[in-house]
Structure 1
Amino acid sequence: MALDKIHAMRAFVAVIQAGSFTNAARLLEISAPSLSRQIAELERTLDVRLIQRTTRRLQLTAEGQIYLEGCERLLEQMDELDAEVQTNRRQLHGLLRIAAPEMPKPLITVLKEYMDSYPNVKVEVDILNRPVDMVAEGIDLWIHIFGPIPLGYISRPIVDLPLAVCASPDYLARFGAPLHPRELSDHRCMHTKLTRESNPWCFERDGESCSVQLLDGLVTNTGDLQRELALAGHGIVRLPLVYVADDIKQGRLLTLLEGWKPQASVLISAVYPSARYVPTKVSAFVEFLQHHAMSLAHSPVSRSKQ
């Protein structure tokens, strides 16, 4: 087995500082014979005797004294370097490039808290509603909404977002509010590619299931556009609650079909290019996402149209 030179140097310094092989072995938590073999192997590798051994004491040779001083300097520098790297790890800096299909308010909150916590990290966010080639595009983290993830990437599920079905008071005043999911087939409903199912919409209530095939209408891959159209009275939307929670709270949108729960959901995942090395700036952001997972999944709903 090849000699671990750094390990052997530490053992050599420990022997001299402790004054004996027995004391040094105790400090290093190894046996004295094992320690003696390490020093002997180090001397064979260097082709020089470092320590004169007697029954009563250890005596450094001239070469041993030179080697001891050099080892102490080198090991001190290595320890300082390790400490500097660890400090740098805690005090993150550099560029973090994030890709996301869009940034609803809770994700913006996560982003703000991350930047406040790590002011030396420069963050770039690319809003990309398409598959991302993370390596070619230099993306560190992809905030992915349900869909196929390219092979070779590593994904960590963050949260499954519940959906809300809602419309504006203006739309409901003109067309009325559906009281049962089947009535959605007579309404203008906007579809999204963000969910596991786009059409039909499926619901459940107290063990009862209902699947509704919707009329052809607007289909997008962005929830923000659907929200704006819903606010403008264009039709009924089924979006993650985090997109519309504030609008519902302020009465700009009203939830529909009380008691019926959409069976679909939107999965948010954190995607990395590789599991072999995840930069600390990336893992720190994912920790923020996980910390806010509950606020992403649950937003209060206070207004409904029955």
Structure 2
Amino acid sequence: MDRVIAAQVYNRICELGSLSAASRSLGISRPMVSRYLEQMEKWAGTRLVNRSTRKLTLTAAGEKVLLKTRSLSQISQEIEDQSAKDLPSGTLRVACAHFTAMHMIAPVLPELLSRYPQLRVELDVNNHPVSLVGERIDVAIRITDNPEPGMIARRLGECRSVLCASPQYLAARGTPQTLEDLAQHNCLHYSFFAGQSWHFVTGEGEQVSVAVSGNLSASISSLLMESAIQDGGIAMLPEREAQVALAAGRLVPVLTSFTPKSLAIYGIYQSREYQPAALRVFLDELACNLR
């Protein structure tokens, strides 16, 4: 049994605190994970972990061995064939929301996949956050100001929004002149921000919020945009999604003296220790596109 692979499996067991979680993360069976752990303990000549039905803890020897196996994995990675390291290959599993897939990832894929023919990107498009470990996701692209703890979050850019409505809606209902006027309008809002408040920054840099309500909320911003185009109400939409409708006059900005608060765009992944070339190149491309 390959000792380098056994060391890598041991590292993942220690990172995740569970043989089952390591099995899911690595895509191998739990019995195989147990065999690799047994190999490591045989190699070390001592017990490395204490197993119980509820949790797994490292022994004192296990802590010392973990330092060495981490170094071994790093050395193994460094001495791989240099060309294989430089050329992204294999399958990169990416989790993202519908808007992110269509307006941030889709524009970079054709050139990226043409440049690296050995690379395959598999998108898991889901408007609800997924478990990176449980779903075997390499990286999640998320728009948030609060990336989850325990993960590595690389900031890629900003998602700016625009408040807008159709000319026909505004002609029928009037154009709001103040944030307080939004209380008299049908506001189409994103489900995950249901609270329901919209947040703005004034020209003086002050952050302000206003409660809004309306007859439609959705987890897909394109649905809100279509409703706004069809005279359904006022929507806060990502600029990247609304720009075509704004340029065509199907939507017009409102309350332009207030800037909707922007959100950060992050690439979220599990570990700094091992970052495949495919992941590095993918995140670099997104960051360049989002400038």
Q: Which amino acid aligns with 1:95?
A: T
Larger radius of gyration: 1
Q: Is the 8 A contact 1:220 1:226 kept in 2?
A: yes
Residues 1:276 and 2:277 aligned together: no
Structure 1 residue aligned with 2:130: 132
Q: Is the 8 A contact 1:194 1:222 kept in 2?
A: no
- TM (norm. structure 2) is 0.65
Q: Distance in 1 between matches of 2:276 and 2:223?
A: 34
Map 1:1-306 onto structure 2 (within 5 A).
Answer: 85-102=81-98, 103-146=101-144, 148-193=146-191, 198-206=196-204, 210-262=208-260, 264-294=261-291
TM superposition shift of 1:121: 1.0
Q: How many residues align?
A: 212
Q: Which amino acid aligns with 2:265?
A: I
Q: Which sections of structure 2, spanning at least 5 residues, go unmatched?
A: 1-77
Q: Which sections of structure 1, spanning at least 5 residues, go unmatched?
A: 1-81, 295-306
Q: Distance in 1 between matches of 2:290 and 2:135?
A: 27
**Residue-by-residue CA offset, 1:5-36 (whole Å, 9 max, x unaligned):** xxxxxxxxxxxxxxxxxxxxxxxxxxxxxxxx
Q: Distance in 2 between matches of 1:194 and 1:107?
A: 21
Q: Distance in 1 between matches of 2:274 and 2:185?
A: 50
Runs of 4+ in 1 over 6 A off after TM superposition: none
TM superposition shift of 1:179: 2.2
Percent identity between the two aligned chains: 30
SS at match of 1:251: coil
Q: Which amino acid aligns with 1:288?
A: E
Q: Distance in 2 between matches of 1:93 and 1:235?
A: 46
Q: Is the 8 A contact 1:146 1:194 kept in 2?
A: no
Q: Which amino acid aligns with 1:285?
A: F
**Residue-by-residue CA offset, 1:116-154 (whole Å, 9 max, x unaligned):** 221221111111112211122111110012165443211
Q: 1:198 to 1:156 in 2, by over 3 A?
A: farther
TM superposition shift of 1:194: 5.8
- TM (norm. structure 1) is 0.62
Q: Which amino acid aligns with 1:281?
A: A
Q: Distance in 1 between matches of 2:111 and 2:195?
A: 33
TM superposition shift of 1:105: 2.4
SS at match of 2:170: helix
Q: Is the 8 A contact 1:145 1:266 kept in 2?
A: yes
